[in-house]
Chains A and B, each alone.
Chain A
């Protein structure tokens, strides 16, 4: 949901280098945490879930210009480390076809990857409290998106990112773009928050509801995919 769609040459060098360094560090950690035999075994699943994330981002939901991100679901299925790698792969593909610049891949991976990791952790926390996993998925997705959006607002506040850019995006409910500008911010943070809250609420509701529906369907056919006990066939 919070994929940054900015092209190359717009974000200052400092910020996209920070994004790449953070991504490299987390990817390094993710690869070191994944045992080599497990990694080899899961290469097809990792690649295919990244492809599913791309497919999800390719299907518009009717007249509203919104598409699914599926980052939380990727985290639930793959776990945090492989999920972060899937976020990197899908962002790299998007950059190669012009959906966001190649220099923004690092920042994009940090943002989408944080959704993967937080979503995975929250899902497992909520999952212990209930038997059926649909509600935990909806709650985890909604809460994750609230956290990542709050994180973005925090970035706006501390780094003088231009809030006007964050409000713009191809998706009505998405926080899209963050740009640091040399000039003072174009609109105030308070106004930005006032505008973003209702828009983000719609986006969060759509993503959480859709993720719940996807998991409900998966539970009916292959529950073991989302960690539920397999049904006898």
Chain B
């Protein structure tokens, strides 16, 4: 899981795409996914991928490392493509559909901090869900760091070996159990802190950087172009 790596790219890099508003990039993803859903033409997906790669190149991001995440979508779509050979959509189209959607999503999350995306979700989802997502985002890093430390300690003491499945299971049960208890205590502390601060629902989210309309036009234009290509080609 590379949430920490993605989070770092979204927060600490600066580019035209980073300066575009979260809303404009979500609209871009929605338009690209709409194109992915309606089109079955190889040329559409190739053009969409070219546009998205150009956006990555101007975003000051490690393109190859990020694109390796799209390999996940490629593998699963390959499985689907192979399993349904002989009917329906051509296998190459299935794979291109999956990769195009995944790359657009990667462009969104590597240029937009998660809290900004969740803040947008406040317009759609109930407050409890968005607040809980913000807590999840915050506590995931705390828990991963803690579990990471425990696993390092286990390995140093010979308590974790890739070959011992049953032994690993036993130890992982304790590690995750310990994580649950830590999480429970963390939630109690957080709950007290939130009550003291007068929490009544709706955590505030501040923008990571100033957004301007001129930067926000780029992702919308990109998404619209991809959709237009899908509609007219």
CA gap between A68 and B168 in the complex, in Å: 12
A96: which of B89, B94, B114 is its contact (CB, 8 Å)?
B114
CA gap between A11 and B170 in the complex, in Å: 37
A222: which of B2, B163, B165, B184 is its contact (CB, 8 Å)?
B184
Is the CB–CB distance between B83 and A47 below 8 Å?
A: no
Distance between B227 CB and nearest chain A CB, rounded to angstroms: 14
Q: Is B158 interfacial (CB-CB < 8 Å)?
A: no
Residues of A within 8 A of B176 (CB): 52, 55-56, 59, 68, 70, 210, 214
Instruction: Knowing A45-B191, A213-B169, say if A181 contacts B87 (CB, 8 Å).
Output: yes
Residues of A within 8 A of B191 (CB): 41, 43-45
Residues of A within 8 A of B133 (CB): 47, 50, 89, 92-93
- Produce 1/0 per residue, A1-12, CB < 8 A to B: 000011111100
Residues of B within 8 A of A52 (CB): 143, 176, 179-180, 183
Q: Which residue of A lies closest to B29 (CB)?
A: A102
CA gap between A52 and B175 in the complex, in Å: 11
Is the CB–CB distance between A47 and B132 below 8 Å?
A: yes
Q: Is A131 interfacial (CB-CB < 8 Å)?
A: no
Q: Is B135 interfacial (CB-CB < 8 Å)?
A: yes
Which of A112-120, A122-130, A160-168, A193-201 lines the interface with chain B?
A: A160-168
Residues of A within 8 A of B200 (CB): 40
Which of A43, A97, A181, A184 has the largest number of chain B CB atoms within 10 A?
A: A43
Instruction: Knowing A8-B101, A9-B100, say if A181 contacts B136 (CB, 8 Å).
Output: no
Q: On chain B, which size bracket covers the interface? A: 35 or more
CA gap between A143 and B34 in the complex, in Å: 39
Is the CB–CB distance between B194 and A61 below 8 Å?
A: no
Is the CB–CB distance between A181 and B147 below 8 Å?
A: no
Which of B17-25, B123-131, B218-226 lines the interface with chain A?
A: B123-131
Interface of chain B residues 65 through 121 with chain A (CB within 8 A): 69-70, 72-73, 76-77, 79-80, 83-89, 94, 97-102, 105-106, 109, 114, 117
CA gap between A36 and B126 in the complex, in Å: 11
B187: which of A10, A45, A96, A215 is its contact (CB, 8 Å)?
A45
Q: Which residue of A lies closest to B99 (CB)?
A: A7
Distance between A232 CB and nearest chain B CB, rounded to angstroms: 17
Residues of B within 8 A of A206 (CB): 169
Is the CB–CB distance between A50 and B132 below 8 Å?
A: yes
Instruction: Knowing A31-B126, A96-B114, say if A162 contacts B136 (CB, 8 Å).
Output: no
Instruction: Knowing A96-B114, A102-B105, say if A164 contacts B88 (CB, 8 Å).
Output: no
Distance between A101 CB and nearest chain B CB, rounded to angstroms: 6
B97: which of A9, A51, A73, A97 is its contact (CB, 8 Å)?
A9
CA gap between A95 and B105 in the complex, in Å: 9
Given contacts A51-B140, A225-B184, 16 further A-B contacts (CB under 8 A): A7-B77, A8-B36, A10-B77, A40-B199, A44-B190, A45-B191, A47-B135, A47-B136, A50-B136, A59-B175, A86-B132, A89-B133, A97-B6, A97-B69, A162-B83, A183-B86
A-B contact pairs, 29 of them (CB 8 A): A7-B77, A7-B98, A8-B33, A9-B100, A31-B128, A46-B135, A50-B132, A51-B140, A59-B172, A62-B162, A64-B165, A70-B176, A89-B129, A89-B133, A97-B69, A98-B69, A101-B98, A101-B101, A101-B102, A101-B105, A103-B37, A164-B83, A164-B84, A165-B80, A182-B88, A182-B89, A183-B86, A218-B181, A221-B181
Considering the complex of A and B, which 6 residue pairs feature the smallest CB-CB distances, nearest first? A183-B87, A47-B135, A213-B173, A217-B177, A9-B97, A8-B101
**Residues of B near any A CB (own CB < 8 A):** 1-3, 6, 29, 33, 36-37, 69-70, 72-73, 76-77, 79-80, 83-89, 94, 97-102, 105-106, 109, 114, 117, 126, 128-129, 131-140, 143-144, 147, 151, 161-165, 168-170, 172-181, 183-184, 186-188, 190-191, 194, 199-201
**Residues of A near any B CB (own CB < 8 A):** 5-10, 13, 27, 31, 34, 36, 39-41, 43-52, 54-59, 61-64, 68, 70, 73, 77, 85-86, 88-90, 92-93, 95-99, 101-103, 162, 164-165, 168, 177, 179, 181-184, 186, 206, 209-210, 212-218, 221-222, 225
